[in-house]
Chain A
Amino acid sequence: MVKRKIIQWLTTFLYNANLPGFLQGHIYRGPLKSVCVPGLNCYSCPGALGACPLGSLQSSVSGAILHFPFYVLGIILLTGLLFGRLICGWACPFGLVQEVLYKLPTPKVKLHKSFHKLAYLKYIIAIIFLLILPLAFYYANGLGLPAFCKYICPAGTLEAALPLAAVNNDIRNALGNLFFWKLLILCVTVIASIFIYRPFCRFICPLGAIYSLFNKLSLYGVSITEAKCINCHKCIAYCPMNCAQVGDRECIHCAECANVCPTDAIKLGRKF
């Protein structure tokens, strides 16, 4: 779907429009950084104009003072209620990266149904890395820790570490084992994305996990007109995310299924 591609590229550019930052090895320090963008986009990316919702969420439970993140949770909750995982499908730069990699002309892996259970992994990662580990570090050391950003997030490595290290000597000289660990995770994600459609979104992303909880409630997304549906299941067979049902928790509302529906029963737009 061309329209979706254009919106994905546009949002990626809008999130990261501070282009001089890439050449100077600095990050944007203006007032827009007080607002979280809806998709996964590292705020230490030299181009980033807004804050990363996951990073901001973790920063409230890291550091010396613990506080409940009303503002960030409010933004995530509101975004989830309005769009659900439509954000993943249309407005996430890291999702776009994976889709571009999947376009490479190689044999693709069709995941067996047993792999679908791996989708629960992202909920476990969200609970452990966004909640348990930061709090455990806080109560053990008096200092919380943004565990997902530190130990997993490949978006941070791709969007922040690599461009900054390329032009900033101080950062390049400070890189150590942790960076190489994160680089390894990025490499695995990149290789997996060539063969599997959006593996990070399916199995790892805590933001996708949070948004998925609102997928059925969200105001916008794909929906089926029951009266038109003939239960041919072509939508399910075609779904690149291997959803069990249109609009379920794994659905990123890409609306690719709408193109194969013989009765035009699937539409993307306001659901209620």
Chain B
Amino acid sequence: MKQKRSLLFLAAILCLGYGIMQNEPTSVMRKAITFCLECIGIG
């Protein structure tokens, strides 16, 4: 269990780090600062 948790922690950190390196936070922000038409129920 402990080993599984540690591996998943490592995977999470790697995913996060790689995502940041790929500039994904900018894509998240780009989507989040425009009206989400699907969320509102328009598009």
User: In the complex the two chains form, is B36's CB within 8 Å of A179's CB?
Assistant: no
Please indicate the chain B residues that have their CB under 8 angstroms from the CB of A78 in the complex. Answer: 9, 12-13, 16
User: In the complex the two chains form, is B29's CB within 8 Å of A33's CB?
Assistant: yes
Partner among B4, B9, B32, B42 whose Cβ is within 8 Å of the Cβ of A174: B42
User: In the complex the two chains form, is A27's CB within 8 Å of B33's CB?
Assistant: yes
A35-77 interface bits toward B, Cβ cutoff 8 Å, 1 = contact, 0 = none? 1100000111000101110011001100000010111111101
User: In the complex the two chains form, is A34's CB within 8 Å of B25's CB?
Assistant: yes
Looking at chain B's contact residues, the main secondary structure is helix
Q: A217-B4, A217-B8 are in contact. Are A175 and B33 (CB under 8 A)?
A: no
- A60–B1 Cα distance when bound, in Å, is 31
User: In the complex the two chains form, is B41's CB within 8 Å of A70's CB?
Assistant: no
Count of A interface residues, CB-CB < 8 Å: 55
Partner among A31, A81, A180 whose Cβ is within 8 Å of the Cβ of B9: A81
Q: Which residue of A lies closest to B5 (CB)?
A: A217
Q: A31-B29, A34-B26, A272-B2 are in contact. Are A164 and B15 (CB under 8 A)?
A: no
**Chain B residues in contact with chain A, CB under 8 A?**
1-2, 4-5, 8-9, 11-20, 22, 24-29, 31-33, 35-36, 38-43
**Chain A residues in contact with chain B, CB under 8 A?**
27-29, 31, 33-36, 42-44, 48, 50-52, 55-56, 59-60, 67, 69-75, 77-78, 81, 145-146, 149-150, 153, 156-157, 160-161, 164-165, 171, 174-176, 178-183, 214, 217, 219, 272
